Amino acid sequence: MSEEPIDLSAALARFDQLWSPRIVTRVNDYDVRVAKVAGEHVWHAHDDTDEFFLVLDGELRIALRDGVAEREVVLPRGAVYVVPRGVEHRPSAPGGASILMFEPSGTSSVGDRHDPVPDHVDATTGHRL
Amino acid sequence: MSEEPIDLSAALARFDQLWSPRIVTRVNDYDVRVAKVAGEHVWHAHDDTDEFFLVLDGELRIALRDGVAEREVVLPRGAVYVVPRGVEHRPSAPGGASILMFEPSGTSSVGDRHDPVPDHVDATTGHRL
């Protein structure tokens, strides 16, 4: 937990890797993470936690799958969305985006169940900024 | 938890009351709240939880008191800060601001310990949007 405020734009300027969340601060036993994203992430689900997304820049899409039914939500800059625990989802950002996430510390970026993880996706519980 | 993304600007446009947080969504047993603020809040402390602030618009100041030592952090738009549990603090926004907060559901806006609450401060665990 930082003694001073953290500017999110400055935090994002400190790294370039896509789909590789950085932990900017903690709130109790939750992480606040930021990530730069572009293209597609991987289908995955978190069995034990909801996952909060806030779009800081660009546009994020989140495909959601419930059995065979699939839909997609679109988050412009300044929009928030919570993926409920257990719901299979695949974030994507055709034009690129910067996002902020809240989730319990230790939550894997590819969840508890996932499709094969492509090379461009970092399977991580978040890196230090 | 909403089935659709929530635009934070649209959420903020739905109310005018200052220092009166609205719950926009939940993440597990945490609330994501937004508030419009201007002038001074009240000195208070949350004994059992950290409190996360993100400035969506304007500038937020948070005075922090540890015994007799007092300091103030300044958060421009796009900055985040976590007030650690137990730390007495008083948010203020001389020029007005819109903020997002993340804290356990049921957390009071004036904490567990506080100075007398002035009329312009809403002592609440958050209102529905």
Q: Are B6 and B25 in contact (CB under 8 A)?
A: yes
Distance from CA of B40 to the nearest CA of A (A): 19
CA dihedral sign, ordered B109, B114, B120, B123: positive
Average of per-residue pLDDT across A118-126: 91
Q: Where do runs of H (alpha helix) occur along chain B?
A: 8-12
Give the domain ranges of chain A: 1-36, 38-92
Residue B117, φ and ψ in degrees, nearest 5:
-85, 120
Say whether B10 sits in a helix, a strand or coil.
helix
Quick check: A56 contacting B, CB < 8 Å?
A: yes
Q: How confident is the model at residue B1 (pLDDT cuts 50, 70, 90)?
A: low
Residue B115: pLDDT above 80? yes
Query: What's the pLDDT score for residue B50?
Result: 97
Whole-angstrom Cα distance, residue B86 to residue A38?
40
Q: Which DSSP string corresponds to B80-91?
A: EEEEPTT-EEEE
Q: Quick one: pLDDT band at residue B2, thresholds 50, 70, 90? A: confident
CA distance B100 to chain A (A): 11
CB contact under 8 A, A1 and B25: no
Residue contact A25–B49, C-beta within 8 A:
no
Stretch B97-112: mean pLDDT:
95
- This prediction has a pTM of 0.95
| Average pLDDT value for residue range A110-116 | 90
Mean pLDDT over the full length of chain A: 95
The pLDDT value recorded for residue A68 is 83
Residue identified by tokens 């597609």 is: A40
For residue A1, the model assigns a pLDDT of 64
Nearest-angstrom CA–CA distance, B51 and A25: 11
Give the residue-averaged pLDDT of A70-89.
97
B26, with CB counted inside 10 A (0-12, 13-18, 19+), is middle
User: B37 near B62, Cβ under 8 Å?
Assistant: no
> A38-92 has which CATH code?
2.60.120.10
C-alpha–C-alpha distance, residues B42 and B31, integer Å: 21
Instruction: Report the share of chain B in percent with pLDDT over 90.
Output: 87
How much is the pLDDT for A2?
78
What local confidence, expressed as pLDDT, does residue B58 receive?
98
**Can you name the residues that pair with A79 across neighbouring β-strands?**
B7
Distance of CA A108 to the CA centre of its chain: 10
- Quote the tokens at residue A127: 């890196």
